Amino acid sequence: MELEGRTAVITGGASGIGLATARRMAQAGASLVLGDVEEESLARAVGALREGGARVVGVTCDVAVEADVVALRDAALANFAGAHLIFNNAGVGGGPAIGTPKAVWDWVMGVNVDGVINGINAFVPLFLEQNEGHVVSTASLAGLGGVPGMGPYCASKFAVVGIAESLFHELRLSGKNVGASVLCPGFVRTRIDESERNMPEDLRAYNDTPAVRAVSAMASDAVRAGIDPAVVAEAVTAAVLENRFWILTHEHAAIRTSEQRVAWMSGGQPPRINLEGATRP
Ligand SMILES: NC(=O)c1ccc[n+]([C@@H]2O[C@H](COP(=O)([O-])OP(=O)(O)OC[C@H]3O[C@@H](n4cnc5c(N)ncnc54)[C@H](O)[C@@H]3O)[C@@H](O)[C@H]2O)c1
């Protein structure tokens, strides 16, 4: 799909992969609507992009709230007379499968899964009507294989892969010029390991438990050793231009994880935890 003159809407656009994608889309000539729950970071991101010559508006939003995501589409239509790409990118990490309060599971699933559902509902009907558009939903390597210490996150990212695959098939059956991709990165140097900054106040005490602190410390080390978000943005852009479904920035780890699951399903040994290639491919 052409990017010049199109409008890209990016949730979680104030930081990390979302912000890098915004820079890359602007470079390709797209107008931008950035949605983020962090008002100040969003204002900073929008200011910096404008200074660089981008056409961009920022809209404070919580992707778990349907009306907030509809407001992103409305902002695209009002400011740029169209919307052509939705990046369902906003996401947060949670705790382990054992001992995580249900309210924390709900928060993670709300942002990571409801956010994607809201993005699809708000944008796909418009894309089908105009016979042009592309949906990129962000999952993770944690959506291709379970890992310890990340129960809610894995649940949410497996859900995103499933939703994105269903969407892909339905769009193909529709015969319309609307594409879908799923992004499954390994570790990327962003602020994902500081997700608790956006956790509802009343849930934050949970982060001070030893199990959560131990997992957070490990996740932070891996994130710091990860790839630059600009590399992810480049891979995302290439996939949109080529209308490719899988976006595997750490391809070797993604394929190894998937093959090991198939071997396990066919009566082999359960896969061992192996982070080789999940930081630097
Ligand atoms: N960094 C990694 O190692 C990694 C690996 C695989 C997948 N991912 C995924 O990439 C996506 C982007 O994360 P990132 O790594 O850039 O992290 P990040 O924390 O740097 O950026 C996430 C952005 O989402 C925003 N956000 C959080 N909750 C929100 C909400 N309810 N509504 C709107 N915006 C919200 C944050 O304010 C932030 O600006 C996430 O879906 C994440 O799960 C990240």
If you measure from the C-alpha of residue 263 to the centroid of ligand 1, how many angstroms do you get, rounded to a whole number?
32
The CATH number of residue 201's host domain is: 3.40.50.720
Predicted pLDDT of residue 210: 87
Tell me how far apart the alpha carbons of residues 237 and 217 are, in angstroms, rounded to a whole number. 31
Q: Is residue 281 part of a domain?
A: no
Mutate to test the pocket of ligand 1, among 24, 34, 37 (most ligand atoms within 8 A of CB): 37
Residue 32 domain flag: yes
Q: What are the Cα distances from residue 151, in Å, to 30, 45, 106, 139, 148?
A: 36, 31, 12, 14, 7
| pLDDT tens digits, 182-203 | 999 999 999 999 999 999 999 9
pLDDT, tens digit, 9 for 90 and up, residues 216-274:
898 999 999 999 999 999 999 999 999 999 999 999 999 999 999 999 999 999 988 88
Residue 206 annotated as catalytic: no
- The label of the residue with tokens 């894309």 reads 127
> What total of structural domains would you count in the chain?
1
What pLDDT is stored for residue 66 in this prediction? 98
For residue 138, which atom of ligand 1 is closest to its CA?
41
Q: How far is the CA of 18 from the centre of ligand 1 (A)?
A: 7
Contact 62 CB / ligand 1 (< 6 Å): yes
d(CA 169, CA 276): 32
Beta strands 246-247; 7-11: pairing state:
unpaired
Q: What pLDDT digit, counting tens, does each position of 94-124 carry?
A: 999 999 999 999 999 999 999 999 999 999 9
Ligand 1 pocket test target in 19, 33, 36 with most atoms within 8 Å of CB: 36
The confidence score (pLDDT) of residue 49 equals 98
What whole-number distance in Å separates Cα of residue 115 and Cα of residue 91?
8
Q: Is the pLDDT of residue 151 over 90?
A: yes
Q: What is the mean pLDDT of residues 9-27?
A: 98
Which residue's alpha carbon is nearest to atom 25 within ligand 1?
12
Please tell me if the CB atom of residue 27 comes closer than 6 angstroms to any atom of ligand 1. Answer: no
Enclosing domain of residue 61: 7-265
Q: In this model, does residue 275 exceed pLDDT 90?
A: no
Taking CA atoms only, the protein residue closest to ligand 1 atom 24 is 12
* Residue 267: per-residue pLDDT: 97
- Give the chain's end-to-end CA distance (angstroms, integer): 27
46 close to 57: Cβ distance less than 8 angstroms = yes
25 contacts: CB under 8 Å, gap ≥ 6 = 3, 8, 10, 32, 85, 237
Residue 278 sits at φ, ψ, to 5 deg, of -90, -15
Q: DSSP letters along 92-139, please? A: -----SSS--HHHHHHHHIIIIIHHHHHHHHHHHHHHHHT-EEEEEE-
Residue owning the nearest CA to atom 42 of ligand 1: 91
Under a CB-based contact definition with an 8 Å cutoff, are residues 52 and 2 in contact? no
Q: How confident is the model at residue 209 (pLDDT cuts 50, 70, 90)?
A: confident
Among 119, 155, 254, 141, CA closest to 188: 141
Q: Does residue 270 lie within any of the structural domains?
A: no
Q: Is 64 in the pocket of ligand 1 (CB under 6 A)?
A: yes
pLDDT at 208: 86
Question: What pLDDT, on a 0 to 100 scale, did the predictor assign at position 207?
Answer: 84
Catalytic-role residue among 107, 153, 168, 206? 153
Q: Please check whether residue 45 lies inside any domain of the structure.
A: yes
Q: Does residue 86 fall inside a structural domain?
A: yes
Query: Measuring CA to CA, how many Å separate 37 from each of 95, 111, 114?
Result: 21, 10, 15
Confidence of residue 59 (pLDDT cuts 50, 70, 90): very high
For all residues of the chain together, what is the average pLDDT? 96
Let me know if residue 274 belongs to a domain: no
Q: Is the pLDDT of residue 211 over 90?
A: no
Using the atom order of ligand 1, give the atom closest to the CA of residue 38: 37
Q: For position 212, what pLDDT does the model report? A: 87
61 lines ligand 1 (CB under 6 A): yes
Q: Examine residue 165 and state whether it is found in any structural domain, yes or no.
A: yes
User: 276 falls in which pLDDT band (50, 70, 90)?
Assistant: confident
Judge whether 184 lies within some domain: yes
